[in-house]
Chain A
Amino acid sequence: MTNKKCVAMLLAGGQGSRLGVLTGKLAKPAVPYGGKYRIIDFPLSNCINSGIDTVGILTQYKPLELNDYIGSGKPWDLDRSNGGVHILPPYQGQKGGDWYKGTANAVYQNLGFIERYNPKYVIILSGDHIYKMDYSKMISEHKSSGAACTIAVMQVPYDEASRFGIMNTDSDGAVYEFEEKPKNPKSNLASMGIYVFTFEKLKKYLCEDEANKGSSNDFGKDVIPAMLNNNEKLMAYRFSDYWKDVGTVDSLWEANLDLLNPKIHLNLSDPNWKIYSRTNALPPQHITDSAKVENSLITAGCCVSGKIDYSILYENVTVEEGASVEYSIVMPGSVIKKGANVKYSIVAENVVVGENANVGVEPDYNGGDKWGITVIGAGISVGKNAKIGAKQMITENVSEGEKI
């Protein structure tokens, strides 16, 4: 095995429970995004574009779909004879085995994988975010500062800072304190969950963390604070381009529609920084005579005869005549029948919305918490003339004329 400068470890085991029915059958990193992508395409494409060709993907929750999607790693050019992409599920050894207890424990259990490549640095990534980032710049800052760990941070509005892990830094970017969801934030630099470690240090602190029975084995809660206590040099790396956590229904919906927002610059086919994905062999889309399409993204295999506005149609979606889809995302294989209206909704894979059904409602800014995005789970059938209100999460078939 040739030595690698940097190995990436991608944490993809989370359940993503706040996405509810959308992660009922698949892990969060495998959730479809942007018409033809999945969330994990972003860290994987960032890796290959940054020159990192050795990636371990730590899986635990519902890995079937994700494993299938990653396959040999070919779509990301990560099918390598030396390095490449490796799926790393929890395993049993001679002394037994364990599920991954936390993010740090997941990496700890796979130190053997990292050691095979004898890297100088390890970058820890998560499969929950939509962003384009050149990790090689972060690694070279890490190298020149001589830090034990460099943490990517971005500025968030102060009134939202208490939702994040906040890094308090000196003027030179050295981190002196880490506060998880502080009530009174001292800074607005939020951790993005991206860490570059010098491998020796990572190994040392992971072993110590594992020996500490009281630890929750989490990078943010345990490892980073332990390093700060030991006066290790921790640096913040500032990032200021588009970055979005897609951990909730609303943020997933927003992150999709951000692709249509002319004020947000997120070009996924920039030849210098393409986002790659596994695609199916599908013919181009057909927009028929009766269609009215504006301000939308539509991809291969779709057949559109209805009205589409401010929406994203994924592969193989059919929208029949007289139907409308507005401010919504419709995932692969779903069918919106004649006369149905879908608005402010996420329609998951292979859903059928029956004739003249109504799904979702316009925002009611006076309605407080009552309004929200409506979600229809994968494979659900919504009967004719059914009516589904705001903020519903539909997990069972809806019968004809039913009102929810």
Chain B
Amino acid sequence: MRRSAVSAIIFSNSNDRTLKELTENRSMASLPFGGRYRLIDFALSNLVNAGISNIGIITKENYRSLMDHIGSGVYWDLDRKNGGIHVLPPYNKGRTNKGYFEALMRAKDFITRSNCDYVVTCESGIVANIDITALVNQHLESNADITIVYRKASCADKYENTMMLKLDENKKIKELVPANSSAESGNYTLGVAVFSKSALVNIISSDENITAKDFYLDILPKYIDNVNLFGFEHDGFVSVMDCGKSFFNANMELLKKEVRDDLFNKERPIYTKTRDDMPTRYGIYADVSNSFIADGCIIDGTVKNSVLFRGVRVKKGAVVENSILMQGVEVFENAKLKYVISDKNAVISANSPISGSDRKAFILKKNQMI
């Protein structure tokens, strides 16, 4: 396929509202995850690993941290002369994107101007290493207009805010319904799809779609009979970020080797901004087990079943268990943390005990001092 045959669009604010404490001042796309990443790294890396280098990012609000993270796009090899990263900020007289569809309409110029035949669209609240090359290939082979990525699951627990696909034996979509938690097993959408450019342009040019709020819910069902809609199965690890609990669980899943091997597939690496930290330093009082730890930390206390981002400090006698500590968090002597999600640069002073529970983690805000 020629170099510019496929362009892509990433929605940076998908499901922002469902993770309120952590996305108060940032978009879903820039939510820190897994020790050194931000959620958008997964979408960007998936696209780049499929050779896609013309990517539009639709932003709505709170996108300062996202811009800071992406910079020129160099970390994803997206500082290109042709294509590269295009941030598509809201511009419509103060109105911000209401939903997926309206956002896409705003991106219409980016899509129509781009010299592509296919457009991949990605939500940013999904953690998965998806083989986009295989998705595009299947789309071409099946002569589809739209191909939607799904994950088979035995229950809808992790997929409550997604759609369920009913497929025929050729993976053609027969029915598209909102997932509901009573469903026993099904094919759940992951917010990733590939469109033939003409199909996408037709849909977003139609006046009757203009009031629709949700693309999957309000628009796509109308096209089932006259557009070739197919499903593409992703059978690897998936986590959908739709509440604090899912964020906590998805991070903890990284402690499993099979999850890491799938998500950080050596053939399709996940790229992120580098920080030039030293390796992590373990002191003579360090006692660390079952933890996922980024570079630049200095650990002289106890860390168990936790995820530590870059530059975290755990001092002598401090105990961190079942917790997620984002970049630059400092835990002073003899503080005790259990089931805590701490946002960036929070400071936990000596001897403080902080605990959440396995049902609801205690959340510390950015720069908070305790």
- List chain B residues, Cβ under 8 A from A303: 257
Q: Closest CB-CB distance, B250 to chain A, in whole Å? A: 14
Instruction: Let me know if A269 is at the binding interface, CB within 8 A.
Output: yes
With A35-B278, A36-B279, A283-B270 given, is the CB distance from A289 to B289 under 8 Å? yes
Instruction: Let me know if B272 is at the binding interface, CB within 8 A.
Output: yes
**Do B282 and A293 have beta carbons less than 8 Å apart?**
yes
- A41 (CB) vs chain B CBs: closest residue: B276
Q: Closest CB-CB distance, B292 to chain A, in whole Å? A: 5
Q: Interface with B: A23-31, A57-65, A134-142, A271-279, which one?
A: A271-279
**Do A294 and B284 have beta carbons less than 8 Å apart?**
yes
**Do B292 and A285 have beta carbons less than 8 Å apart?**
yes
Instruction: Let me know if A300 is at the binding interface, CB within 8 A.
Output: yes
**Do B34 and A284 have beta carbons less than 8 Å apart?**
yes
Instruction: Let me know if B56 is at the binding interface, CB within 8 A.
Output: no
**Do A285 and B274 have beta carbons less than 8 Å apart?**
no
- List chain A residues, Cβ under 8 A from B115: none
Instruction: Let me know if A17 is at the binding interface, CB within 8 A.
Output: no
Q: Interface with A: B14-22, B130-138, B215-223, B293-301, which one?
A: B293-301
Instruction: Let me know if B360 is at the binding interface, CB within 8 A.
Output: no
**Do B276 and A295 have beta carbons less than 8 Å apart?**
no
**Do A283 and B280 have beta carbons less than 8 Å apart?**
no
**Do B288 and A269 have beta carbons less than 8 Å apart?**
no
**Do B278 and A268 have beta carbons less than 8 Å apart?**
yes
Instruction: Let me know if B35 is at the binding interface, CB within 8 A.
Output: yes
- A314 (CB) vs chain B CBs: closest residue: B279
- A271 (CB) vs chain B CBs: closest residue: B276
**Do B260 and A286 have beta carbons less than 8 Å apart?**
yes
**Do B276 and A299 have beta carbons less than 8 Å apart?**
no
- List chain B residues, Cβ under 8 A from A293: 282, 286, 288
- A284 (CB) vs chain B CBs: closest residue: B35
Q: Closest CB-CB distance, B282 to chain A, in whole Å? A: 5
Which one of B279, B283, B284 has the highest number of Cβ atoms from chain A below 10 Å of its Cβ?
A: B279
Q: Closest CB-CB distance, A95 to chain B, in whole Å? A: 39
- List chain B residues, Cβ under 8 A from A282: 264, 269
**Do B282 and A298 have beta carbons less than 8 Å apart?**
yes
Instruction: Let me know if A18 is at the binding interface, CB within 8 A.
Output: no
Q: Bin the interface of chain B by size.
A: 35 or more
Instruction: Let me know if B74 is at the binding interface, CB within 8 A.
Output: yes
Q: Which of B74, B274, B285, B288 contacts A279 (CB 8 A)?
A: B274
Q: Closest CB-CB distance, B262 to chain A, in whole Å? A: 11
**Do A286 and B255 have beta carbons less than 8 Å apart?**
yes
- List chain A residues, Cβ under 8 A from B271: 281
- List chain A residues, Cβ under 8 A from B280: 285, 297-299
- List chain A residues, Cβ under 8 A from B308: 284
- List chain A residues, Cβ under 8 A from B151: none
Q: For the complex, would chain A's binding face be called helix, strand, loop or mixed by DSSP majority?
A: loop
- List chain B residues, Cβ under 8 A from A291: 288-289
> Within the assembled complex, what's the spacing in Å between the Cα atoms of A280 and B284?
29
- B264 (CB) vs chain A CBs: closest residue: A283
> Within the assembled complex, what's the spacing in Å between the Cα atoms of A183 and B35?
55
**Do B283 and A36 have beta carbons less than 8 Å apart?**
no
- B289 (CB) vs chain A CBs: closest residue: A289
Instruction: Let me know if A372 is at the binding interface, CB within 8 A.
Output: no
> Within the assembled complex, what's the spacing in Å between the Cα atoms of A36 and B274?
12
> Within the assembled complex, what's the spacing in Å between the Cα atoms of A276 and B11?
33
Q: Which of A35, A276, A287, A296 contacts B289 (CB 8 A)?
A: A287
Which one of A279, A284, A286 has the highest number of Cβ atoms from chain B below 10 Å of its Cβ?
A: A284
> Within the assembled complex, what's the spacing in Å between the Cα atoms of A254 and B252?
38
- B74 (CB) vs chain A CBs: closest residue: A74
- List chain A residues, Cβ under 8 A from B260: 283, 286
With A74-B74, A275-B276 given, is the CB distance from A287 to B291 under 8 Å? yes
- B290 (CB) vs chain A CBs: closest residue: A289
**Do B255 and A297 have beta carbons less than 8 Å apart?**
no
Instruction: Let me know if A34 is at the binding interface, CB within 8 A.
Output: yes
- B299 (CB) vs chain A CBs: closest residue: A293
- A36 (CB) vs chain B CBs: closest residue: B279
- List chain B residues, Cβ under 8 A from A312: 279
Q: Which of A75, A277, A287 contacts B288 (CB 8 A)?
A: A287
- List chain A residues, Cβ under 8 A from B269: 280-282
What 12 additional pairs, Cβ within 8 angstroms, besides A274-B276, A288-B290?
Answer: A34-B279, A75-B276, A280-B269, A283-B254, A284-B295, A286-B292, A289-B289, A289-B290, A298-B280, A299-B279, A299-B295, A300-B279
20 contacts between A and B (CB under 8 A): A35-B278, A259-B278, A268-B278, A274-B276, A275-B276, A281-B271, A281-B272, A282-B269, A284-B36, A284-B294, A285-B293, A289-B290, A294-B283, A295-B286, A296-B281, A296-B282, A297-B281, A297-B282, A298-B279, A303-B257
